[in-house]
């Protein structure tokens, strides 16, 4: 690298009551980052008022793993948690760095990070781990949840299309850090102003108005790794997603 600073990967994990799998996920991330020579890397974990041992598990790792831990005193929802994670990630990154977001429930395989990083190096600004590319698989997801994601994908592809995007809802993504910085400068506080799971859609809809190149990589969702229930309130998410789509179609 001839004296220049190496590009860094910053991984943002929103975590709410993830004691069952977060330790295992942190091991898998660390192994992957070392194996693929992506270290040193940085983890930004935002605990969203977990009532279980999530925070204890993370704090026990801080000595050996490069973790920045942000804590919410009470549960604030995924939108605010992702927002705080991205703001912190931007604080510790330069424009050429890469910010990855992924679930903390160990359903998103860290092995895909290398490919996502390479795709950013190849010129993409945002890479989505997509359930709708040739070679994608979803293992352990109920037919109802599959249908909902698929319906959201089609509705958005028709009503608010983004070139290169089929999966609008998956939380596993890579962003060029400079793009997130630009979005924060452009939108300020309103960059992530959706409280719930629909925030993942809205991030893309906001970036769509900027000069951003999107792409996807096939993704194998290992929902069978999940222990305990999903934290998504399905009915609330459907309602909020439809309201969001309507608002954005009307240009608000
Ligand atoms: N901060 C925060 N994170 C949440 C909340 N609900 C879920 N998460 C996190 O967001 C991610 C997605 O939630 P998850 O239960 O995996 O949803 P699913 O994969 O769509 O069923 C996980 O990393 C959760 O820990 C919440 O209320 N607040
Ligand atoms: Mg999940």
Whether 79 contacts 195, CB under 8 Å? yes
- Best residue among 29, 78, 236, 240 to mutate for probing ligand 1's pocket (most ligand atoms within 8 Å of CB) is 78
Whether 177 contacts 10, CB under 8 Å? yes
Name the residue at shortest CA distance from atom 5 of ligand 1: 78
Percent of the chain with pLDDT over 90: 92
For residue 229, the CA-to-ligand 2 centroid distance in Å is: 10
**Ligand 1 contact via 232 beta carbon (within 6 Å):** yes
* pLDDT of residue 4 exceeding 90: no
* pLDDT of residue 230 exceeding 90: no
The number of the ligand nearest the C-alpha atom of 22 reads 1
Length of the chain: 252
Q: How confident is the model at residue 3 (pLDDT cuts 50, 70, 90)?
A: low
Q: How confident is the model at residue 2 (pLDDT cuts 50, 70, 90)?
A: low
Supply the mean pLDDT for the chain: 95
Q: How confident is the model at residue 5 (pLDDT cuts 50, 70, 90)?
A: confident
Closest ligand 1 atom, CA of 16? Answer: 25
pLDDT for res 228: 81
pLDDT for res 45: 98
Read off the pLDDT of each residue in 30-44 and give the average, rounded to a whole number: 96
At CB < 8 A and 24+ separation, what contacts does 206-210 make?
A: 207/125, 207/126, 207/179, 207/183, 208/160, 208/162, 210/179, 210/182, 210/183, 210/186
For residue 77, the CA-to-ligand 1 centroid distance in Å is: 8
120 three-state secondary structure: helix
CATH number of this structure's domain 9-249: 3.90.550.10
For residue 225, the CA-to-ligand 2 centroid distance in Å is: 10
* pLDDT of residue 176 exceeding 80: yes
Measured in whole angstroms, the distance separating CA 64 from the mean position of its chain's CA atoms is: 24
Read off the pLDDT of each residue in 196-204 and give the average, rounded to a whole number: 95
pLDDT for res 34: 97
Whether 106 contacts 25, CB under 8 Å? yes
């Amino acid at each position: 690298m001839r004296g220049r600073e190496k590009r860094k990967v910053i991984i943002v994990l929103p975590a709410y009551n993830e004691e069952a799998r977060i330790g295992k996920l942190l091991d898998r991330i660390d192994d992957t980052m070392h194996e693929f020579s992506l270290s040193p890397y940085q983890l930004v974990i935002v605990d969203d008022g977990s009532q279980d041992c999530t925070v204890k598990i993370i704090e026990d790792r801080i000595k050996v793993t490069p973790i920045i831990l942000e804590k919410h005193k009470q549960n604030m929802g995924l939108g605010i948690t992702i927002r705080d994670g991205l703001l912190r990630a931007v604080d510790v990154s330069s424009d050429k760095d890469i910010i990855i977001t992924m679930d903390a429930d160990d359903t998103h395989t860290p092995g895909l990070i290398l490919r996502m990083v390479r795709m950013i190096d190849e010129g993409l600004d945002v890479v989505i781990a997509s359930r709708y590319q040739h070679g994608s698989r979803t293992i352990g997801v109920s037919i109802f949840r599959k249908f909902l994601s698929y319906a959201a994908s089609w509705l958005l592809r028709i009503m608010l299309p983004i070139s290169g995007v089929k999966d609008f809802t998956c939380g596993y993504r890579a962003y060029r850090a400079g793009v997130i910085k630009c979005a924060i400068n452009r939108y300020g506080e309103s960059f992530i102003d959706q409280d719930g799971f629909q925030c993942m859609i809205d991030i893309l809809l906001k970036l769509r108005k900027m000069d951003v190149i999107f792409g996807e990589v096939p993704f194998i969702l290992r929902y069978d790794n999940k222990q305990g229930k999903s934290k998504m309130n399905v009915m609330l998410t459907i309602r909020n997603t439809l309201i969001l789509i309507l608002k954005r179609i009307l240009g608000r």
